[in-house]
Structure 1
Amino acid sequence: MANTPSSYSSIPSNTKAWVYSQYGNIEEILKFDPNVPTPHPKKDQVLIKVVAATLNPIDTKRALGYFKDTDSPLPTVPGYDVAGVVVNVGDQVKKFKIGDEVYGDINVNSINDPKTVGSLAEYTVAEEKVLAHKPSSLSFVEAASLPVATITAYQGLEKVEFSSGKSILVLGGAGGVGSLVIQLAKHVFGASRIAATASTSKLEFLKKLGADLAIDYTKENYEELAEKFDVVYDAVGESERGLKAVNEGGKVVTIVPPGTPPAIPFGLTSDGAVLEKLKPYLESGKVKPILDPKSPFPFSQTVEAFSHLNTNRAIGKIVIHHIP
């Protein structure tokens, strides 16, 4: 392998990974396989030695066959979020070199042709454009938790033209995406007022993130509040109720399809440039990765980690580390 330092000269032809060969409940179909062929980077890709990976709800939906018509062929190694070290580069790659610490969402499009070998493996490949240099102030675990949730939060706010001085209500403020929407709305976009919903035990957490108003959805109907908002960011699938909480001319964006018109359904396009743009906020600590208290799970407990994800009770992100 050209230009490979001796420390990386022994990239194995097979990689340890978690794999499923049929669609179904991911906790039942996921199996450990020590002999998955190590992917080779194309011209615009890098090969990453995975250090940490993060689970996302889309992994579960993909395993259930929700988008099998556009999915990569089985068997599948799941995993979108990655943080790791570049060990080989395609000949058109300019931004990264061997030895660089990188992170990103490896799938350009979440639903159309996601990669066969995802990030729940020792090695995975990703296009140069979806990756960013890992901020030095973040651990691999923290960095791995960010890409899908951060890019979704940022691009969703852009989609509804959120800007300084506007108010926002975040539905599901304690979740992976919602916790970042609050932080980005406050520190990057300059929101005038932030409200967010969560269950009783998570209200203090919302305030720590920067919410001015923490709403207990188990006790209060947010759509009945006298106060209305310029934007409602729906991370839980309640766009119909969200439409009753916006002021005249306000907008609702939802990341849970299909959404009730005129709410705007939204899915991310993976983009390393968004992560690079947010690097100063991450390095200064203004925007913080939010890890579930049980994170990280060891690689050997990936199935247990998915079980925890599927309770929908996680706070922030569930990370797998250390990957062998």
Structure 2
Amino acid sequence: MADSIPSKMKAWVYSEYGKPEYVLRFDSEVVVPEVKEDQVLIKVVAAALNPVDAKRMAGFIKAADSPQPTVPGYDVAGVVVKVGNQVNKFKIGDEVYGNVNELPLNPKQFGTLAEYTAVEEKLLSLKPKKLNFAEASGIPLAIETAYEGLEKAGFSAGKSILVLGGAGGVGTLTIQVAKHVFGASRIAATASTGKLELLKSLGVDLAIDYTKEKYEHLPEKFDVVYDAVGECDRAVKAVKDGGSVVEIVGLTNPPPPAFLFLETSDGAVLDKINPYLESGKVKPVLDPKGPFPFSQAKEAFSYLETTRAIGKVVVYPIP
């Protein structure tokens, strides 16, 4: 297999900061990344987009960013084609998935919108057999954000939760992880009118139409409010005394009981979640407009930026 790895690959790259439609370009001559001792080389089959990709492309994390030209992309699902000397968890031919950037604000120069990407083995897990590559690619960053955020909030069985932005990439998985992995007693979530049935199908007890109702005015308060939309000033009014608000959008220090949370990519978290994905208790939600073919990565980014996507926006197949 290693003999058939080319020296150059097709990838989407940008060499300046700006909006995806202006700065992202297709390049068929990008050098295939070298594999370090603790890394594997993945032949990418599918990649999911995340809001952090667009923020990074716009220059929001310039100070900590890798040098350009940059191949964007955090989430990947694909096949191992080469392993470093110290790798013992995976072998050539394994189908894997993961988030290639251990820290979201300190990303690699070569991400996942490319034919190949090099990733540390500790960031990866075996792809659940029940999921296809497109479905698996939409899981890692969002489920790590959901699981680790709930863990940091001290969420546990019998507690209640309100998820703001329940139909989005992180929201759809936070609902399911809270219910099936942590054992939530009651789940409320917000979405627009047309997405309320989706919330109920994911296990939401109280689906709130944010176009018609203000959740902070409800008499019911929650042990945890998981804010995936950036409404801290309203979210803190919906939490019980002694509860907490998980903020994943916004860069300032939110006032207690809110805290800003950034995930860490960790294959061990995916290993923990895999049984729930295999059993079908936790399901990926992919936007019905996708998957977008590799040639339409720009269109996929434009669609993600409308903030109207349901679940995850995925690019598949990658040649």
1:23-80 superposed Cα distances (whole Å, 9 cap, x missing partner): 0111211000000000011000000000000011000000011011100001100000
| Amino acid corresponding to residue 203 of structure 1 in structure 2 | L
* Residue in 2 that maps onto 1:241: 234
Match for residue 18 of structure 2 among 14, 24, 34: 24
Distance in structure 1 (CA, Å) of the matches to 2:23 and 2:32: 21
Structure 2 unmatched runs, 5+? none
* Residue in 1 that maps onto 2:277: 282
Taking the TM superposition and a 5 Å limit, the aligned residue runs for 1:152-301 are 152-257=145-250, 258=252, 260-262=254-256, 263-301=258-296
Contact persistence 1:48–1:84 (CA under 8 A): yes
* Residue in 2 that maps onto 1:12: 6
**2:43 is aligned with 1:77:** no
Distance in structure 2 (CA, Å) of the matches to 1:129 and 1:163: 26
Q: TM-score, normalised by structure 2?
A: 0.98
Match for residue 63 of structure 1 among 45, 52, 57: 57
CA shift, 1:295, in A, is 1.4
| Amino acid corresponding to residue 295 of structure 2 in structure 1 | S
Distance in structure 2 (CA, Å) of the matches to 1:312 and 1:259: 24
Distance in structure 1 (CA, Å) of the matches to 2:128 and 2:173: 17
CA shift, 1:259, in A, is 5.2
Distance in structure 2 (CA, Å) of the matches to 1:239 and 1:156: 15
Taking the TM superposition and a 5 Å limit, the aligned residue runs for 1:136-147 are 136-147=129-140
Q: Secondary structure at the match of 2:158?
A: coil
Distance in structure 1 (CA, Å) of the matches to 2:288 and 2:130: 20
1:194-251 superposed Cα distances (whole Å, 9 cap, x missing partner): 0000001111110001100000111111000000000000000011111000111111
Q: Alignment identity in percent?
A: 69
1:229-281 superposed Cα distances (whole Å, 9 cap, x missing partner): 00000000011111000111111011012253111100000000000001110
Contact persistence 1:177–1:235 (CA under 8 A): yes
Distance in structure 1 (CA, Å) of the matches to 2:301 and 2:196: 25
Alignment length (residue pairs): 317
1:127-153 superposed Cα distances (whole Å, 9 cap, x missing partner): 010000001111000100100101000
Distance in structure 2 (CA, Å) of the matches to 1:204 and 1:310: 23
Alignment root-mean-square deviation, CA = 0.7
Structure 1 unmatched runs, 5+? none
- Following superposition, which runs of at least 4 residues in structure 1 exceed 4 angstroms of deviation? none
